[in-house]
Amino acid sequence: MPYSDYLVFIVAILVCTAFSLFASARVNGTFSKYDRQRLRSGVTGAECVRRLMSRRGIRGIAIGRVSGKLSDHYHPSKGIINLSDSTHDSASVAAVAVAAHEMGHVMQHQDGYLFYRLRTALVPVVNFGSMLAMPLVLIGIVLDNITMYADADLGFTVAMIGVILYGGSFLFALVTLPVELNASRRAGEMLVAEGILAADELPGAKRVLSAAAMTYLASLLTSLVYFLRFALYVLSIFGRRNNNRR
Please give the positions annotated as active site. 102
Phi and psi at 82, nearest 5°, equal: -95, 120
DSSP code string of 151-174: -HHHHHHHHHHHHHHHHHHHHHHH
242 and 152 in contact (C-beta within 8 Å)? yes
CA–CA separation, 120 and 177 (whole Å): 13
Conformational region of residue 113, where left means phi above 0, alpha means psi within -120 to 50, and beta covers everything else: beta
209 and 31 in contact (C-beta within 8 Å)? no
* CA geometry: angle 180, 201, 90, nearest 5 deg: 75
E strands within the chain? 62-66, 73-75, 80-84
CA–CA separation, 162 and 139 (whole Å): 9
Q: One-letter amino acid identity for 147?
A: T
CA–CA separation, 235 and 246 (whole Å): 17
Distance of CA 39 to the CA centre of its chain: 29
